[in-house]
Chain A
Amino acid sequence: MKERITQPSDPRQIFDLVEAGILTPTTALSRLSQWERAIVVPQIKEEPKQETLTEIMDELDQLIGLSQVKVLVREIKAFIEIQQRRELEGLVCKSLVLHMIFRGNPGTGKTTVARILGKMFREMNVLSKGHLVEVERADLVGEYIGHTAQRTREQVKKAMGGILFIDEAYSLARGGDKDFGKEAIDTLVKAMEDHKSELILILAGYRDEMDRFMRTNPGLRSRFPLHIQFPDYTPAELMEIAQLMLKEREYILSDSAKTRLWTFAEEINKQQTSGNARAVRNLIEGAIRRQAVRLVKQESITREDLMLITVEDLGEAVTQ
């Protein structure tokens, strides 16, 4: 049989080709030695430049709204700085327990803030990596006895040195005592104790549901000293988010489009479930697509046309 692939990029491909009956073991071996010799000088990957603490705080400040969140993040930052200073002076300092509860509707910036916190903690030497591992019930809960603990531990391992962010955390307690979700909670609690200094856990979800979750699991409440409330964006803030998005993408709104957008923003603000900032983002992205469809039909297109979003581009209603 003819060899179909000349240069496999990965030994695994070579093994697959042998298994498929395309490569003979002989050719496979010769490819493997070529590959092994070629990688003697590994390519040096350029590390992305790490942001400094100031840059990270700027990033936080640039978020629209969230004034209380920003205050609290600064409090946490100050607290860590002082604890570190106290430690240097040999004063008694409480060990840093930074597990958090984020309460708020979808699309209110919880993940974004968590990601910024991760970077901030890395720069402050609280966490070694500061990355964010986002999981939900399905990632933690298994299908049979023992499976859950194993899956949960895997996620914990992945998050080591960073933040484990559990979205809709209350769903872990959904099925009552017999549900495997309980096992996930127990495993998490154990991981929090065992890896106190290497892992920060953030439980996130709707405010009411999170409150109920905390009430039914009193042991959890005491383990999460930091509670951050993410309020819904006001219509004005939603407008600001939309304008910022458009500015970044170099689009402008026509006056009537602005008015239409404002009514949409009010509507989004009233609907609790419609994902807030995310709904605005989808709205704008949809408008950009519709503008493109409108423009391709047009015979001559000016620079202004390319930038302008009109009222018909925004569509008739907020779609979810």
Chain B
Amino acid sequence: MSQCIILGKANVGKTLFAINFADYLGINDLEIVSTYPEGRAHVQIYRKDEAIDSLTSISPHQTRCLQAFTIRLRKGKSEKQLILLDSTGLIEGIHANPQVRAAMAQTLAAIRDAQVVLHMIDASSVGIDGSDGAIGEVDRQLCQYARLKRGYVILANKMDLHGAALGLERIKATFQGQTIIPISALKKQGFAEVRRFVAIHA
């Protein structure tokens, strides 16, 4: 099965996107397989609102493992199953918590196995902080690495928020030549384009 991994810095909305995108694709009960860096795995079935409550938070590094969602996409006449992999946010420096570091190492390792990379950037904070603050070196390096993949796209998230339009322009200027889809994970905006992109490249 193809794997599609969601990457980005901490708190850009990766998990919320994964849950809402699965919901958008018509998946009622989310069966989420969480694999922890030490190898422990567990499966839990959530309803959508439960998932949002228990898996997302406004503080960074809520996700400390790889969370796999199985999703189905229509591709031409047939339906295709693939794994949507939600990952731990990457940071610029070295995190003090060894658990978070292990989870980040796990994320990096998972990139290798993925065919499609959805690179998520918080457009609203780019708009407010300026591109130097919110688009970090980690984003640039991620782009350098992930664009070697079959499918690589930048998702400019939080387009519903103030300053996001400016942020999107800055993202476009920084990552010239890359596919960029503006989305709102919260409001489910831009999901049709994401679906099309994933269906083509997965």
Q: Are B112 and A11 in contact (CB under 8 A)?
A: yes
A25-B90, A25-B91, A37-B148 are contacts. A18–B104 as well, Cβ < 8 Å?
yes
Is A26 on the interface with B (CB-CB < 8 A)? yes
In whole angstroms, what is the CA distance A18 to B102 when docked? 7
Q: Are B144 and A30 in contact (CB under 8 A)?
A: yes
Q: Which chain B residues (129-162) contact chain A, with CB distance < 8 Å? A: 136-138, 141-142, 144-145, 148
**In the complex, which residues of chain B have a beta carbon less than 8 angstroms from the beta carbon of A32?**
108, 111-112, 145
Interface residue SS majority, chain B: helix
Chain A interface, number of residues (Cβ within 8 angstroms) = 23
Is A80 on the interface with B (CB-CB < 8 A)? no
What residue in chain B is nearest A29 (Cβ atoms)?
Answer: B141
From A18, A20, A26, A30, give the contact of B136 (CB < 8 A): A26
In whole angstroms, what is the CA distance A12 to B108 when docked? 10
Q: Which chain A residues (11-25) contact chain B, with CB distance < 8 Å? A: 11-12, 14-16, 18-25
In whole angstroms, what is the CA distance A28 to B107 when docked? 11
In whole angstroms, what is the CA distance A19 to B136 when docked? 20
Is A71 on the interface with B (CB-CB < 8 A)? no
In whole angstroms, what is the CA distance A33 to B141 when docked? 8
Chain B interface, number of residues (Cβ within 8 angstroms) = 25
Is A41 on the interface with B (CB-CB < 8 A)? no
A26-B137, A29-B141 are contacts. A16–B105 as well, Cβ < 8 Å?
yes
Mask, B89-118, CB within 8 Å of A = 1, is: 011111100100110111011011000000
Q: Are A19 and B102 in contact (CB under 8 A)?
A: yes
Interface residue SS majority, chain A: helix
Is B37 on the interface with A (CB-CB < 8 A)? yes
In whole angstroms, what is the CA distance A197 to B112 when docked? 36
**In the complex, which residues of chain B have a beta carbon less than 8 angstroms from the beta carbon of A20?**
101
Q: What distance in Å separates the Cβ of B158 from its nearest Cβ neighbour in chain A?
A: 22
A26-B92, A26-B141 are contacts. A21–B101 as well, Cβ < 8 Å?
yes
Q: Which chain A residues (185-220) contact chain B, with CB distance < 8 Å? A: none
**In the complex, which residues of chain A have a beta carbon less than 8 angstroms from the beta carbon of B90?**
25-26, 29
**In the complex, which residues of chain B have a beta carbon less than 8 angstroms from the beta carbon of A25?**
90-92, 104, 108, 138
Q: Are A33 and B105 in contact (CB under 8 A)?
A: no
In whole angstroms, what is the CA distance A303 to B112 when docked? 58
In whole angstroms, what is the CA distance A12 to B92 when docked? 20
Q: Are B145 and A36 in contact (CB under 8 A)?
A: yes
What residue in chain B is nearest A12 (Cβ atoms)?
Answer: B109
Q: Are A28 and B108 in contact (CB under 8 A)?
A: yes
In whole angstroms, what is the CA distance A227 to B136 when docked? 70
A binding-site residues for B, Cβ under 8 Å: 1, 11-12, 14-16, 18-30, 32-33, 36-37
Excluding A29-B141, A37-B148, 16 further A-B contacts by CB distance (< 8 Å) are: A1-B94, A15-B105, A15-B106, A19-B101, A21-B101, A22-B94, A23-B94, A24-B93, A24-B94, A25-B91, A25-B108, A26-B136, A29-B138, A30-B144, A30-B145, A32-B111
A-B contact pairs, 16 of them (CB 8 A): A15-B105, A15-B109, A18-B108, A19-B101, A20-B101, A21-B95, A21-B98, A23-B94, A24-B91, A25-B91, A26-B92, A29-B90, A29-B138, A29-B142, A29-B145, A30-B145
